[in-house]
Every structure is written in structure tokens, then in C-alpha cells.
Amino acid sequence: MTQAVQDNSEQQIDLARIDPGEAAELARRLRTNVERAMRGKPEVVRIAVETLVSGGHLLLEDVPGVGKTTLAAALARSLDSSFKRIQFTSDLLPSDVIGSAVPETDQGRPTGGLIFQPGPLFSHVVLADEINRASPKTQSALLEAMSEGNVTVDGRTHPLPDPFFVVATQNPVEHYGTNPLPESQLDRFQVRQSIGYPSIEDEAAVLRDDPGLNELPTLQPVLSPHDVQRLRAATVQVKVDDALIAYLLAIVTETREHEAIAMGASTRAALALRRAAQARALCDERDFVIPEDIQDLAGPVLAHRIVVDTRAGAERGSEEGQWILREILDRVPVPL
């Protein structure tokens, strides 16, 4: 056995050495650290951490000023990894995100060749801030990266860091100067989550303590990239009973047959819901999924992937879509 093969084999064995108790402790440590800067939104932080653990990507959609960027920055600071923030604007080009081939030089003299210069996308954690302010062409530059973990430039494929995690923020599409994300791009986000306004008590604490100013800059890493790799390896080992697979598929099938839905959830959406449920179970110190995992995550995982029939008076991603999913969950029998 060569040294390279042996090292790879040992790493795979090491990735498998994590039990639900240790996994839950790592996830708790990350959540606690993030909540120092993101006050009063424990469920939002929980879903963000679970999305990271499951290997998905996170889309935060809400009005300006409720903490979308703070949450993304707190997650990044809590990981001992590379982090880049990309401010999406109408004039941003795909090469500004991915990178481009530039002339190669030797001691300041051009050699006639080209060398790839990586863009800010080549980081463990990428904050795509206000992603829906960019053109559809620039938005689509993320498709290959988010689905395959690499990018192709001039016919050459370049792998991205592992782990790779995109946190995108966007304002509601009704706001001036925004371009709604196409279905293909939305489908790459495992979870779409709104934050909402804090309670009066939590908002008073934010005004008093200003955690974005006083806590966020002081956050220290509590997990390494290797910890995240171990958590992701453990997530795929969480058991999903056949009865729960059938339950999940029944929910997805209902989205395809519901009279108020023009386009239902895809197979990729079903896989995303299964992975999200496995991550929830692992972070809750279980090695098996329960029906509540699927029920709690069906909205964040599926709502942005369905297109509501405009004749029903609603639009994709709206509260009406959430209401339809709740109706579907009430309708589909829960396995005993």
C-alpha cells in the first residue's frame, strides 16, 4: 500500500470515528458560539448549523437589518477555516466570483501561457451577500460549485476546499433592484430560512449589548474543517427506516399532485429533506430519524422548491406555499 493510499484510508477511518454523543456536543458548541452574536433566534441558528452538518447550503431571505449577515459571519468566525464575503451587485461578473485565467509570468516577463487565478469562491465558507441583486448570469456561476464542489474554467476543472459551505442572503423579491433566483439555483440551496423580527425582550437585549459590535469581532473558532468533515461523514450513517422513507416520499408526491401547486418537489428535494432529517437526528444525539425530524424540516427544505399555481393567488416561496405544506403534513398519515 502506498503512503498516499494509506493516509487516505486512515483519514476515512478517522472520519467514521464519531458517535452521536460526540456529534451532538460539537454541534452544541458551534450553536452556543454563534448565539453569542445572534441573539434571540435559537431555532434559526439550529437550522443553520444542521445545514452545515448535512453538507447543504443555506439561503437566508428576509428584510434588511434582521441579522442575516451577522448569522453568516458568526458561523464563519466559529470555524477555523477560510472565509470570503462576496457583495453581489448588478455589475458583478461570473469571473469576479469564480476567478479567471490570467497571463503567466516569469520574473515579471510573460511566458505566453495562462494560469488560473482563483476567485473568492475558493473558500471553506462563502457569504454571498444579497445574491438576488446580481444578474442571472452571475447567479448561475454558483450552480456547478454548489452541486459538485468544483468549478470549470476554460475546460479545466478546479476543486473547491472541503468542506465547502455557501450562505447566501437575499431581500424579498418585491424590493427594488432584485432579480428572483431561478428554480435551478434555488434547488441548490438545501434550506431557505427567514429570520423574522426578534421579540421585544430580545430586541431590548440587542439594543443594550449590541452583540454585532461587541461579540461578533471577538468570536473564536470552536470547530475545525476536519470536525465538519467528521460530522458530515457521521450524518450519512444515521439510519432512516423504510417506513420513514415512504412517509417522506408521500409528502413529496403530494406536492406534485396538489391542485394549488404548479411544480412539485424534485428527487433532489427529497434527498435534501432526508439529509436534513439525518443531520437533525445526529445533532439531537440520535443515530436514527423520527417523523418529527421530517415534519419540522419539510417547510425550510421544500417551500422554496415548489411553484404555487398563480391562479391560487400565491407566488413561489410565499407564506401561502408554507400553508400548503402544512396542509400536506396534516393530510399524510404519520407512520407509527
Q: Three-state secondary structure along 200-264?
A: HHHHHHHHHHCHHHHCHHHCCCCECHHHHHHHHHHHCCCECCHHHHHHHHHHHHHHHHCCCEEEC
- How many domains does one find in the chain? 2
Domain of 259, CATH number, reads 1.10.8.80
Residues 171 and 94 both lie in one domain: yes
Q: Is the pLDDT of residue 145 over 60?
A: yes
- Tell me what the mean pLDDT of segment 291-312 comes to: 88
- Tell me what the mean pLDDT of segment 18-27 comes to: 90
pLDDT interval class at 246 (50, 70, 90): very high
Domain of 131, CATH number, reads 3.40.50.300
Residues 126 and 244 both lie in one domain: no
Q: Say if 219 falls within a structural domain.
A: no
pLDDT of residue 291: 97
Residues 170 and 79 both lie in one domain: yes
Q: Say if 218 falls within a structural domain.
A: no
- Reported as a single tens digit per residue, the pLDDT across 175-231 is 666 788 888 888 899 999 999 898 999 899 889 999 888 899 999 999 999 999 999
Residues 303 and 177 both lie in one domain: no
Last residue of a domain, one of 197, 226, 258: 197
- Reported as a single tens digit per residue, the pLDDT across 77-134 is 999 999 999 999 999 999 999 998 887 777 777 777 788 899 999 999 999 999 989 9
pLDDT of residue 7: 41
Last residue of a domain, one of 197, 225, 249: 197
Residues 160 and 266 both lie in one domain: no
Residues 38 and 182 both lie in one domain: yes
Q: Say if 204 falls within a structural domain.
A: no
CB count within 10 Å of CB 303 equals 25
Q: Say if 1 falls within a structural domain.
A: no
Q: Is the pLDDT of residue 255 over 70?
A: yes
- Of the candidate ranges 93-107, 289-303, 309-323, the one whose mean pLDDT is the lowest: 309-323
Residues 22 and 126 both lie in one domain: yes
Q: Say if 114 falls within a structural domain.
A: yes
Give me Rg for the CA atoms of the chain. 21
Q: Say if 216 falls within a structural domain.
A: no
The continuous run of DSSP H or E covering 53 comes out as: helix 42-54
Question: In whole numbers, what is the pLDDT of the chain averaged over residues?
Answer: 87
pLDDT of residue 11: 47
Q: Say if 315 falls within a structural domain.
A: yes
Residues 178 and 267 both lie in one domain: no
Which of 212, 127, 138 lies closest to 170, judged by CA?
127
Residues 124 and 250 both lie in one domain: no
Q: Say if 227 falls within a structural domain.
A: no
Residues 186 and 247 both lie in one domain: no
Residues 130 and 242 both lie in one domain: no
Residues 330 and 256 both lie in one domain: yes
Range of the domain at 56: 15-197
